[in-house]
Amino acid sequence: AQKVTQAQTEISVVEKEDVTLDCVYETRDTTYYLFWYKQPPSGELVFLIRRNSFDEQNEISGRYSWNFQKSTSSFNFTITASQVVDSAVYFCALRGRSNNDMRFGAGTRLTVKP
Amino acid sequence: GAGVSQSPRYKVAKRGQDVALRCDPISGHVSLFWYQQALGQGPEFLTYFQNEAQLDKSGLPSDRFFAERPEGSVSTLKIQRTQQEDSAVYLCASSLEGEGFRGYEQYFGPGTRLTVT
């Protein structure tokens, strides 16, 4: 079974604040893949990052960073110095090696106010 | 190169009508996925193709839903005798994934918003 939990339904911040989106997952697979996607108001899901279960290195890409911790089954996403254009729904997703489907969390709606 | 395209972008169907939703994946992508996204929810898996082979259709909600990819490129999701509960956004995604490594990212199309009245 695969499960992704994004406990934060909505977050609202003011521009330039840092914000962390939480993601907790469950899987029986020892090899699995984690993803973050952004869904802006236009509706199209935009791929942000993939992380393999055997690679626990954290990653930074500009203002975005990801913290993968197998010990707590978490894959959190931090936006530093948020901007209005970051406003979107963000989805965390999981795919176990033995699964054909990618399981998405319910999403976190981030609103960044000017 | 072009991304994943879907048509139509919007479809209104009367209850009981049949609909066909089209997906053009990224050229060269072996794998193709269909998802259903209800309002305020994350996408939910419907079915998975590798080339023309439908390897998994476990997510299709009923036998009214049917998908095909006859030449391993364009795919069509067909819904027969539509019901109101079928109203959702239908997303198509493609990836480089083939045999072996399952972890390639999926690239999504803009979706088809289906409204059944």
Quickly state the pLDDT bin for B1 (edges 50, 70, 90): low
Over residues A7-30, mean pLDDT: 97
Which of these, B10, B25, A55, lies nearest to B34 by C-alpha position? B25
CA distances from B52 to B31, B32, B107 (A): 9, 9, 18
Q: What are A76-114's pLDDT values in tens digits?
A: 999 999 999 999 999 999 999 888 889 999 999 999 999
What residues in A contact B114, CB-CB < 8 Å? Answer: none
CA distance A78 to A100: 28
Q: Do A100 and B107 touch (CB under 8 A)?
A: no
What residues in B contact A100, CB-CB < 8 Å? Answer: 45, 48, 55-56, 58
Query: Quick check: B99 contacting A, CB < 8 Å?
Result: no
Identify the residue whose tokens are 């970051």.
Answer: A86
Residue of chain A whose Cα is closest to the Cα of B5: A44
Residue of chain B whose Cα is closest to the Cα of A10: B40
CA distance A86 to A89: 9
Of A33, A47, A100, the CB nearest to B56: A100
Residue B13: DSSP 8-state: E
Q: Give the contacts of A103 (CB within 8 A, at least 6 positions apart).
A: A2, A3, A4, A93, A94, A95, B45
Identify the residue whose tokens are 């989106």.
Answer: A21
CA distance A111 to A89: 9
What residues in A contact B108, CB-CB < 8 Å? Answer: 37, 44-47
CA distance B34 to B13: 20
Chain centroid to Cα A100, Å, comes to 20
Query: Quick check: B31 contacting A, CB < 8 Å?
Result: no
Chain centroid to Cα B36, Å, comes to 8
How many angstroms separate the CA of residue B73 from the nearest CA in chain A?
19
Q: What are B78-107's pLDDT values in tens digits?
A: 999 999 999 999 999 999 887 667 778 999
Of A42, A52, A104, the CB nearest to B42: A104
The pairing of beta strand A64-69 with beta strand A74-79: antiparallel
CA distance B17 to B32: 26
